[in-house]
A and B are shown apart, each in its own frame.
Chain A
Amino acid sequence: MSEIEYVVNGTRRAVRAGDDDLLLDVLREQVGSTSAREGCGVGACGACTVLVGGHSVSSCLARAVRYDGAEIQTADGLPPDHPIVAAFVQTGAMQCGYCIPGFVLMADELLRENPRPTKEQIVAHLEGNICRCGTYAEIIAAVELAAERMAATR
C-alpha cells in the first residue's frame, strides 16, 4: 500500500493504493466520485473516463499509484452551469444517463483542444464511447451547442 495524493476537481485528496489497484476504484471508493463507472473493464466503452491534466484516461485500465500528485477532473466536479453540462441538459442528451459523464469529459477535452470542431471532428473524438440507449444525435447536438456558446463568450 502506498500513501499517495490526487488533486481531484481542485481539492487535494490523500488516498491509499496497492500496486494493482485501479484509479477507477480509488476514485469511487475513497474519493467518492461515482460519476466514473465501470462498463467493460477493458477500456472499450468510455464510461470510466476521467481527465488527468486535461487528457482523457480510461480509469478502469489505469493503475492508481501512477497518478500520484495528478490533477484529476471528474464529471461531478463540473459546476451545474458549466457550458458543456448546460448544453447536454438543454439538448436532452441523456436517456439512462450511465455513460453520459464520460461523453461530457470527452467533450471537455475536445473543446479545450479544438474550440470549434466540425461534426466529423466531434464524431472522431467521441467514437470510443458507447451509449447503448442510442443518444448519439443529441450528444453531438450538445457538443455543437456548447462549442457555439463557449466561442461566443470567449
Chain B
Amino acid sequence: MTELLDKGSAPAESPAEAAMPFSVGRREPRRDGEAKVRGTLSYVADLPVPAAAAVGITRSTRPHARIVGIDASAALAVAGVEAVVTGADLHAALGDRMYTGPAFNDQPPLAVDKVRYVGEPVAAVVALDVATARAAADLVVVDYAELEPVHDVQAAIDGVAYVHDELRPSAVFGDLKHLAGISGTNVNYEYNLVDGDVDKAMAGAATTAQGDFWAPPTHHVPIELPCTNAWIEGETLVLLTTTQTPSYCRQAVADMLDLPLNRVRVRTGPLGGSFGAKMYDRLEPLAAALAWTLRRAVRIRATREEAFVLTSRHGVQVISSMGADADGNIVASRADVRYETGAFADVGPRITAKSGMVAAGPYRVHDVHVRSRCIYTNKPSAGPFRGFGVPQVTWSHESLVDELARSHGEDPAAFRRRNLLREGDIAPVGTPMHSADFVGCLDAVTAAIGWDRPLERPDGRYARGRGVAVGVKAVLTPTISNAVLQLNQDGSATLLISTVDMGQGSDTIMPQIVAEVLGLPADAVRVVNADTDVTPYDTITAGSRSTYHTGNAVRLVAEKMRDRLLELAAAQTSSGRNRLSLVPGGVQNGRTGEITPISDVLHRHFGARGTTLTEQANFGTAWEPYDKATGRSEKVTEHWFAGAVAVQLLVDRATGRLTIEHLASAGDVGRAINPTMVEQQLSGGAIMGLGHAVFDEMVFDQGQLVNGTLLDYQLPSVRDMPHEITSVIVESPHRTGPFGAKGVGETTLIPVAPAVANAVRDAVGVRITRLPLTPERVLDAMTEAGVDL
C-alpha cells in the first residue's frame, strides 16, 4: 500500500522565496519531463553512431588463476567474427599503459597473465552483430592454473594469497605515491583517525556498547544498462558512453593510448540512473583500446548479468564500540572498518578515508580511534555508490548509539539530540561544522512520525516499533567545476557544463541559477549534454557535489554575463553603468524605468542577428590534507551533509517480515534551488536506503555471484513502499553555497538501514548487526534471543 507523497512540513515554496521571487526556490518542472514520460528522450544507446562492430566478452570462470593459454580458433571460425582480442594483445600494443584506475593502475581492460574474479573479461570477440559476438565469446577456450582464492576480508588480511603482486598507485591521487611497489599485502590503503585516548575514555565509561557489523556488497542497478561506443574520427578517438565522469574518462583514455587530451573526445547523454555505477573505468577503457588497436568502430552493451560484475558497493565489516559517561555524554568511539574492494581498488582508498573520518558519527566525542582499511579480495571490484561508503559505517555507529541510549535509560532521539554536533563544533576529524543542522533534521523526522505520541504496541502476531538514525557525510574536496555561458542575441542562453543529468535534475536547476541572475525565464536557458570537446572540465558528477560546485561556477558565469551586459548597455546609452540593472524583460534604466530587451542590447552591440556573447567561470575548492598519523584536518571538506531518518514499522512475529508504516527523511540542503527536485532526492534516497535495509545483497558462493539477475536480486517495487513517506527539507544556508545551496543526492540514503534496525530493536527487543534485515534473519535473531514467537 502506498500513500501519496506527503510533503510533510516542507513549505509550498522555499521560505526565502519571497526575497528571491524569480527562479531560485521555485518548483520549476523538469525540463525534459514530457520527453521522459513518452520515452522520446534519447539516452546513449538511443543516439546515432557510425556503423559499429559488436563486442562479446569471454569472462573468467575462476576467482583467482593464472591464464595458461587462450584458444580462440573456434570463435574465429564463426561467420561474422572479425577478431578476438586478448589481454596479451592489448599489452603488446599498449604496454603497462593498459592498466587504469582512479587510485591504482591495477585494472586491465582484459586480464593479462592472471584473472582476479569470476566474471573478469579475458577476451573480447568483435563481430558484425551482438548475437554472433556473444555466442562466439562462449567458444573461446581459456586454460587456467588455479591459485588460492581470497574470498573475504579476513582471508585477505591473513594473506592466504595476494590478489596483486605489488601496489601501483595511479597519477590521479598524488598522496598515494608512497604506496608504490609495496608487495605481500592485500591492504591497499589504511586511514587512521586518532584523537585523545580512546582506551582510557572507554575504560572510564559508565555505559558501553559494541558490535561486529556487516553490510554486504550490493549493486546500484540503474535500469539503464551501461553502453559505450568508440570510434576514430580523423585523428581523434571519440567515445559516446554512459558515464558520470566524462572529464575523468578523457584523461584515462588519453593516458592509456598516449594521446594528447585534444585527441580524445568523450560524449555522454542523459543517464537512465547511475548511483555511482557509471563512473571511472567501466566499459570505456576496453572500448577505446579495441577501437584504437583495431581501427574499428565498436559498441559494447553490457547485459544485466554483466553489469552486475562491472562494479558494486563495498561489503564492509565494522568492529566497533562506543561509550558514554554517567550523564549520557558520548565519551569514546572506536571502529575497525574493513572495506572489501574486490579485485581492483577503483576509488576504494578514497572511500576508506572519507568514510573512516565520519565513522565515529556526528557527535561531540573527543576520544576516538578509527582504523579504516581498503582490502583486495577475489570478487568483482567495488567502487563508488550513492553514499560513498558512509552508509556502511553509519550502520555501525547509529546501531551503537541506540544501544548506548537504551543502556543509559534515555529515549534514543533525546540521547542523540544532546550529543549531536552543533554549528561551530569541531567534528572528530578536526573540521568545524557549518550548515549541518543535525538537530533540525532529527526533530523534523521525529515530529513527522509522531515520535512523542504514545506508541500502540499490540500483542499477538504483529509487534510495532519506532527507530531513528542520523547521518553525516563530507562533500568531495577538493574539486573543480567550470561553466561557459553563451547569451544568444535573441535573449536565450546556452549553458555549457560537464554535469551529467542522471535523474537528479541538474538540467533543470542549473538554468534556474542562470535565470535568477539574468532575469530570464528558466526555460530560456538550455544545458548542453556533456561533451569534452564542447563543455569544460568538471571533476565528476558525483558525491552530491554539483549543486554547490557547478552551481557556483554557473552563478559566477551568470554574474559575469550580467556585468558584461550592463556595460554594453551603458555604452549604448547616456546612462551610467550604475543606473542600470537586469530585471525580467531586459536592462532597466533606474532613472527612466525604461526596459531594453537583451535582444536589442546584443543586436546593437554586434550589429547582427544570431550572434552570441560568451563568458566563462571557474569554481574550485581547497582542503587541508589530513595528517597521516592522526587523520585529522582543520579543513578536510568544503561542507557537510546532514540527514536523519525515522521509521515506524511492524514486525510479523510469525514470519519475520517487516511492514514499514511510515518512513520520514530529512536533509539539510542549505537552500533548495528547486524544492520538488530536492524532495525527490530525499524520498528517492530513502527508498534506495530501504532496499539496503531489507533486500539488497549480492550473494557469492566461492567467489561466484549467484543472484546477478533481476529475477534473483530483489529491488524495492511499488508493493514495498511504506504506507506513508514524508520528505522534509531543512535549510540552514551555506555561507558560500550558490544562494546558500548544497547537494542532496546521498543525504537520506545514509541513515535508513540503522533506523529500520533500531525500530526492529524497539519492536521485538533484538539487535541485528548484519544487513539486510530479511525475514529469516529477523526470525533467527528473535529465536536466538529467546523472544516469544
Chain B residues contacting A131 (CB-CB under 8 Å) are 223, 718
- Please tell me if the beta carbons of B273 and A37 are within 8 angstroms of each other in the complex: no
- Please tell me if the beta carbons of A75 and B39 are within 8 angstroms of each other in the complex: yes
Complex CA gap A75/B34 in Å reads 11
Complex CA gap A104/B304 in Å reads 23
Tell me, yes or no, whether B573 is within 8 Å of chain A by CB.
Answer: no
**Which B residue sits closest to A125, measured CB to CB?**
B718
Which of A40, A100, A137 is close to B39, meaning CB atoms less than 8 Å apart? A100
**Which B residue sits closest to A36, measured CB to CB?**
B39
- Please tell me if the beta carbons of A127 and B717 are within 8 angstroms of each other in the complex: yes
Complex CA gap A128/B720 in Å reads 12
Tell me, yes or no, whether A35 is within 8 Å of chain B by CB.
Answer: yes
Chain A residues contacting B305 (CB-CB under 8 Å) are 41
Chain A residues contacting B222 (CB-CB under 8 Å) are 96, 98, 132
* A111 → chain B closest CB, angstroms: 15
- Please tell me if the beta carbons of A85 and B34 are within 8 angstroms of each other in the complex: yes
Tell me, yes or no, whether A89 is within 8 Å of chain B by CB.
Answer: yes
Known: A35-B38, A136-B721, A137-B4. A47 touches B223 (CB 8 A): yes
Stretch at the interface among B372-380, B387-395, B683-691: B683-691
How many residue pairs at the A-B interface have CB separations less than 8 Å? Answer: 173
Tell me, yes or no, whether B502 is within 8 Å of chain A by CB.
Answer: yes
* B713 → chain A closest CB, angstroms: 9
Complex CA gap A106/B32 in Å reads 21
Known: A42-B709, A93-B37, A127-B717. A120 touches B1 (CB 8 A): yes
Complex CA gap A136/B3 in Å reads 9
Tell me, yes or no, whether A109 is within 8 Å of chain B by CB.
Answer: no
**Which B residue sits closest to A93, measured CB to CB?**
B37
Chain A residues contacting B45 (CB-CB under 8 Å) are 34, 37
Complex CA gap A134/B2 in Å reads 12
Chain A residues contacting B718 (CB-CB under 8 Å) are 123, 126-127, 129, 131, 136, 139-140
Chain B residues contacting A47 (CB-CB under 8 Å) are 223
**Which B residue sits closest to A134, measured CB to CB?**
B687
Tell me, yes or no, whether A113 is within 8 Å of chain B by CB.
Answer: no
* A117 → chain B closest CB, angstroms: 13
- Interface residue range, chain B: 35 or more
- Please tell me if the beta carbons of B37 and A89 are within 8 angstroms of each other in the complex: yes
Of A88, A95, A130, A135, most B-chain CB atoms within 10 Å = A95
**Which B residue sits closest to A32, measured CB to CB?**
B46
Complex CA gap A47/B320 in Å reads 42
Chain A residues contacting B144 (CB-CB under 8 Å) are none
Chain A residues contacting B5 (CB-CB under 8 Å) are 137-138, 141
- Please tell me if the beta carbons of A100 and B37 are within 8 angstroms of each other in the complex: yes
Known: A132-B223, A134-B684, A136-B721. A101 touches B37 (CB 8 A): yes
Chain A residues contacting B719 (CB-CB under 8 Å) are 123, 127
- Number of A residues whose C-beta is below 8 Å from B? 53
- Please tell me if the beta carbons of A133 and B303 are within 8 angstroms of each other in the complex: no
Residue-wise interface mask of B (10-50) relative to A, using a CB-CB cutoff of 8 A (1 in contact, 0 not): 00000000000000000001101111111111110110000
Tell me, yes or no, whether B316 is within 8 Å of chain A by CB.
Answer: no
Known: A37-B224, A134-B688. A97 touches B717 (CB 8 A): no
Chain A residues contacting B3 (CB-CB under 8 Å) are 137
- Please tell me if the beta carbons of A137 and B721 are within 8 angstroms of each other in the complex: yes
Complex CA gap A95/B41 in Å reads 13
**A60-78 with Cβ < 8 A to chain B:** 74-76, 78
* B645 → chain A closest CB, angstroms: 14
* B744 → chain A closest CB, angstroms: 13
- Please tell me if the beta carbons of B37 and A97 are within 8 angstroms of each other in the complex: yes
- Please tell me if the beta carbons of A132 and B688 are within 8 angstroms of each other in the complex: yes
- Please tell me if the beta carbons of B33 and A92 are within 8 angstroms of each other in the complex: yes
Residue-wise interface mask of B (252-287) relative to A, using a CB-CB cutoff of 8 A (1 in contact, 0 not): 000000000000000000111111000000000000
Q: Looking at chain B's contact residues, is the secondary structure mostly helix, strand, loop, or mixed?
A: loop
Complex CA gap A76/B2 in Å reads 28
* B33 → chain A closest CB, angstroms: 5
**Which B residue sits closest to A120, measured CB to CB?**
B1
Tell me, yes or no, whether A26 is within 8 Å of chain B by CB.
Answer: no
* B339 → chain A closest CB, angstroms: 24
**Which B residue sits closest to A138, measured CB to CB?**
B5
Known: A97-B32, A126-B718. A39 touches B304 (CB 8 A): yes
Tell me, yes or no, whether B494 is within 8 Å of chain A by CB.
Answer: no
Chain B residues contacting A80 (CB-CB under 8 Å) are 34, 38
**B584-602 with Cβ < 8 A to chain A:** none
**Which A residue sits closest to B301, measured CB to CB?**
A38
Tell me, yes or no, whether A57 is within 8 Å of chain B by CB.
Answer: no
Complex CA gap A101/B584 in Å reads 36
- Please tell me if the beta carbons of A40 and B683 are within 8 angstroms of each other in the complex: no
* B542 → chain A closest CB, angstroms: 15
* A86 → chain B closest CB, angstroms: 9
- Please tell me if the beta carbons of A76 and B40 are within 8 angstroms of each other in the complex: yes
Which of A42, A85, A96 is close to B273, meaning CB atoms less than 8 Å apart? A96
Complex CA gap A75/B37 in Å reads 8
Tell me, yes or no, whether B561 is within 8 Å of chain A by CB.
Answer: no
Of B33, B43, B688, most A-chain CB atoms within 10 Å = B33
Tell me, yes or no, whether B326 is within 8 Å of chain A by CB.
Answer: no
Chain A residues contacting B8 (CB-CB under 8 Å) are none
- Please tell me if the beta carbons of A133 and B710 are within 8 angstroms of each other in the complex: no
Complex CA gap A40/B274 in Å reads 15
- Please tell me if the beta carbons of A92 and B676 are within 8 angstroms of each other in the complex: yes
Complex CA gap A37/B221 in Å reads 15
- Please tell me if the beta carbons of A96 and B725 are within 8 angstroms of each other in the complex: no
Tell me, yes or no, whether A3 is within 8 Å of chain B by CB.
Answer: no
- Please tell me if the beta carbons of B683 and A96 are within 8 angstroms of each other in the complex: no
Tell me, yes or no, whether A52 is within 8 Å of chain B by CB.
Answer: no
Which of A41, A45, A119, A133 is close to B684, meaning CB atoms less than 8 Å apart? A133
Tell me, yes or no, whether B503 is within 8 Å of chain A by CB.
Answer: yes
Complex CA gap A130/B272 in Å reads 12
- Please tell me if the beta carbons of A76 and B709 are within 8 angstroms of each other in the complex: no
Tell me, yes or no, whether A44 is within 8 Å of chain B by CB.
Answer: yes
**B143-181 with Cβ < 8 A to chain A:** none
Apart from A89-B29, A97-B272, list 4 A-B contacts with CB within 8 A: A34-B45, A42-B709, A80-B38, A98-B273
**4 residue pairs, one from A and one from B, having the closest CB atoms:** A35-B39, A98-B272, A97-B36, A96-B503
Instruction: Please name 12 pairs of A and B residues whose Cβ atoms are closer than 8 Å in the assembled complex, sorted by A.
Output: A38-B225, A39-B304, A39-B710, A42-B710, A44-B711, A47-B223, A97-B32, A98-B222, A99-B272, A104-B38, A119-B1, A136-B718
Binding site for A on B (CB under 8 A): 1-5, 29-30, 32-43, 45-46, 131, 220-225, 270-275, 303-305, 502-505, 676, 680, 683-688, 709-711, 715-719, 721, 725
Binding site for B on A (CB under 8 A): 20, 28, 34-42, 44-45, 47, 74-76, 78, 80, 85, 88-89, 92-101, 104, 119-120, 123, 126-141, 144
